[in-house]
Amino acid sequence: MMKNSAEVVIIGGGVVGCAIAYNLAKMGCQDVVVLEKEYLTAGATGRCGAGIRQQWGTEMNCKLSKASMDTFEVLNEMLGYPEDIELKQDGYLILAYEEKEIEQFKKNIALQNSLGIESRLIDPGEARKIVPHLNTEGLLGAAFCGRDGHANPFHVTQAYAEAAKRMGVEIYTYTECRDIEREGDRITAVVTDRGKIKTEKVVNAAGGYSDLIGAMVGLDLPVYSERHQIMVTEPVNPLQGPMVISFYHHFYCQQVPHGAFIMGQGDPNEPKGHNIGHSWQFLQELSGKITGTFPALKKLRVVRQWSGLYNITPDSQPILCEAPEVPGFYMAIGFSGHGFMIAPMTGVVMAELILGKDLSMPVHKLDLGRFDRGELVLEPSVV
């Protein structure tokens, strides 16, 4: 039987929704329901590239990702997870092929270092030492942070979900949010395909579908979704330490602890929308980039390709706030392709925001109003 009322209803069973649920419960608010229309991680979380990095170009993304990395490092213990989140910290190597990239990286690194993130600019020779099979032709340099790396999105989400459930949170999978009811400007209930849940507080953590949830309370949110495709190879013995990414070539490629190489690319011509299909053009294009940059991988077999949605804001930074026009409607949306890696800290600040506590990290710069005020700080480092 489903509960018919809850203090907080979270829409979205991805890593963000589950991290918020866990933190609410930990802070004493256990009357929480998470709604997920399929199963946990069925959306963007379970489709992402599984990278976690701190090398960002805005203060807020750096702070959120650094605090989240601190949490990933102790997550198994913190959540009492009997399995393993498969943390790997062999770094992120970000390739530069143009002088203007080097200039941008210098700015980013200065910002990162000022916030305690240990990144540095390295020359192609050192990049080759870190990734021996890297083709350095045309490479001008690279940014590197050895504490960046990988975690398994399925296990991270499961770990949060299990810990939340132990504290009394109810997670309803295969339960879709159909509508949000209001009286005046107050929220009164969430309508699902399995019945109604009375509540005054709703959290939009619906990832690629956050615009549809916003529309249920009359908000036209400044976000859109965009398909990003990704593929994986057969597992092989450990070969590549860091995640290697290139903004110039729009690709990323890492070897996960299990042995498979996961790789993806952004397509500047991808139309907006909720399409999560796949294309042979992607397979061909990305395979060309990967075999060019890593010739030693040419005899690796691709076994699967899929895609997921980036939920993108005009400045590529998330929206973390309560909607001013709709009290009780909270948003953790618009992660622009890096929601997984900042989910741990997002969960903390969202729970504090919802419960009216002092924020352990000020996130007022990530409110919805910044777009109207024109106070945008553009994140330059997105694949």
Partner 1 sequence: MKDDVILCFCEDLTRDEIREAIKKGATSFDELKRLIRCGMGACQGKTCEENIQREIMTITGRKREELPLPRQRPPSVGIYLEDAARGDDDEK
Q: Which residues bind partner 1 (CB under 8 A)?
A: 39, 41, 46, 154-155, 158, 232-235, 258, 260, 278, 280, 283-284, 287-288, 290-291, 297-306
Q: Least distance to partner 1 from the beta carbon of 163, Å?
A: 14
Count CB neighbours of 143 within 10 A. 26
Q: Least distance to partner 1 from the beta carbon of 250, Å?
A: 16
Distance separating alpha carbons of residues 239 and 134, to the nearest angstrom: 11
Between 203 and 290, CB nearer to partner 1: 290
Between 186 and 298, CB nearer to partner 1: 298
The structure tokens listed for 112 are 């990162």
Q: Least distance to partner 1 from the beta carbon of 141, Å?
A: 26
Between 273 and 288, CB nearer to partner 1: 288
Helix, strand or coil, per DSSP, at residue 33:
strand
Between 166 and 186, CB nearer to partner 1: 166
339-354 and 153-166 are packed helices; what angle lies between their axes, rounded to 10 degrees? 20
CB 130 within 8 A of CB 144: yes
CB 226 within 8 A of CB 210: no
Q: Least distance to partner 1 from the beta carbon of 168, Å?
A: 17
Between 147 and 155, CB nearer to partner 1: 155
Between 146 and 235, CB nearer to partner 1: 235
Q: Least distance to partner 1 from the beta carbon of 300, Å?
A: 5
CB 225 within 8 A of CB 273: yes
Positive or negative torsion for Cα 40, 160, 207, 37: positive
Count CB neighbours of 30 within 10 A. 17
Distance separating alpha carbons of residues 246 and 318, to the nearest angstrom: 22
Q: In sequence order, which residues have a C-beta less than 8 Å from that of residue 140 and are 6 or more positions away? A: 96, 97, 98, 99, 101, 102, 124
Q: Least distance to partner 1 from the beta carbon of 290, Å?
A: 6
Residue 262 bridge partners (DSSP): 232, 254
